[in-house]
Amino acid sequence: MHIADGILSAPVLAAGFGGTALLAAVTMRKMGHEEIPEVSVMSAVFFVVNLIHIPIGPTSIHFIMNGLVGVILGIRAFPAIMLGVILQALLFGFGGVTVIGVNCVMLGAGALGAYFIWQLRHRFPLGDRLEMIFGGLAGATGVFVSGLILAAALFSTGEEYIATAEYALAAHIPALIIEAIVVGACASFLKKTRPDLLAGQVLQKKME
Amino acid sequence: MKKIYFFAAILFISLIFIPNTYAHKVQMFAYPEGDNVFVEGYFADGKKPKKSEVMVYDSGGKVVFRGLTDDEGKLSFKIPQKTDLRVTLNAGMGHKTEYTLPASELSSAESKGGDKMVAIDQGASSEKGRDSQISQLDEAQIQAIVEKAVERAVGEAIKPLVRSFTEMTQKNSLTTIIGGIGYIFGLMGIALYFKSRKGSQS
């Protein structure tokens, strides 16, 4: 789910860089010492996981995992994803250099959306399966929000892409389901073993 | 610090899968074949971009050809004009790639690939400066035919080589992936260094 060079128009590319700078400035404020290694490791996980292909029937998909990054890092997910996207573009030509801004906003906003959904779990105490359900929803949200932004970016380039943009949303449904399962499983596993790793746990304690 | 071990474990598990890694990225070959240009697109994981739009631009950026690939991701079209041709392949969903065929490659292919009259005309105006006199027609013809045959045979023979070479250069290598992870941790080190300096000063 990376947009390549040469598709988007200059204003959209500029908006991407502007949005990235703004989001980075907001999400990196007051980052503590102990958060930097966490962000780096999740950034590395995101970087690698995007390159792994899972064959499914005749086709294959790759993980995006921005939902998982959101669930673990909260708003610090944005700098982690930004770093991952920049390195993917520079080292692998994944996306492209001019599109870094748009790709950062697309994948980073997915992570922030996932975190937002993840935080909603405090309002719906569903018992044992709470983390699994909201982890799953967060995983799906990560893909869905990014898919929406992808579609919007493609829409902006003109009519010939309208069909593509609609198709883009439909094509991400398998990824959405798989991410939901994986992130849900991760969240419920972490809740049992290392609940301190998940984002927003402190808030939960305060509310109790 | 225990947190770090856990993250490191996630990373290590991810690394196990690395041998299967590919960029999900569309690639393309384009080369002149006789007086046609042959275009073949593929995804790094072996899928073919079916019914993808191929656009060809001349050196001035004007569209000179437009077409769709077949189910094999292939397309061939007649050389529209002898300038540098920029061929783009759009596989949809933000997957797009481009390749520029230099005019020099096209002109040599075209002069050998046309019918006999074209070949003679090209031969006559070629850099060898030969006049298009009737007496030299036979020689020019033979030369054109031989060059055409050799061109085709060599082109056929090196096609797999070109393909595997392109695939090789574009595949993600383990080294690059590990390099990327190295960058991330290097940046983390720099960030922590500056943070800690700030902390000790205040």
Listed by start position, the domains of chain B span: 26-170
Mean pLDDT, range A160-178, rounded to an integer: 72
Among A122-136, A156-170, B37-51, where is mean pLDDT lowest?
A: A156-170
Interface list for B 18-77 with A (CB within 8 A): 18, 20-26, 45, 47
Label the pairing between strands B85-92 and A59-62.
Answer: unpaired
Token pair of B195 as six digits: 């943070």
pLDDT band for position A48 (50/70/90)? confident
CA distances B199 to A50, B23, B128, B196, Å, are 35, 41, 75, 5
Question: pLDDT at residue B125 above 70?
Answer: no
pLDDT for B63 equals 79
Question: pLDDT at residue A202 above 60?
Answer: no
Q: At B66, give phi and psi (nearest 5°).
A: -145, 130
For B1, the closest chain A residue by CA position comes to: A34
Question: What is the predicted ipTM?
Answer: 0.72
pLDDT for A19 equals 93
- Average pLDDT of chain B to the nearest whole number: 70
Q: At B56, give phi and psi (nearest 5°).
A: -120, 130
pLDDT for B152 equals 79
CB A81 within 8 A of CB A44: no
Q: Which residues on A lie below 8 Å from B192 (Cβ)?
A: 33, 36-37
pLDDT, greater one: A110 or B67: A110
pLDDT for A110 equals 92
CATH of B26-170, one of 3.20.190.10, 2.60.40.10, 3.55.40.20, 2.40.50.140: 2.60.40.10
Q: Is B17 on the interface with A (CB under 8 A)?
A: yes
pLDDT for A208 equals 40
The tens digit of pLDDT for each residue in B78-96 reads 777 777 778 887 776 667 7
Question: pLDDT at residue A78 above 90?
Answer: yes
- The count of CB pairs under 8 A between chains A and B is 124
Asked if A45 and B11 come within 8 Å (Cβ–Cβ), the reply is yes
For A43, the closest chain B residue by CA position comes to: B184
pTM higher than 0.80 for the full model?
Answer: no
Domain ranges of chain A: 10-207
3-state secondary structure of A73: helix
Residue A6's nearest CA partner among A107, A67, A96 is: A96
pLDDT, greater one: B86 or B15: B86
Q: Which CATH class is domain A10-207?
A: mainly alpha
Question: pLDDT at residue B119 above 60?
Answer: no
Looking at chain B, the whole-number percentage of residues with pLDDT higher than 70 is: 61
pLDDT band for position B114 (50/70/90)? very low
Residues B178/A52/A81/B49 CA torsion (nearest 10 deg): 120
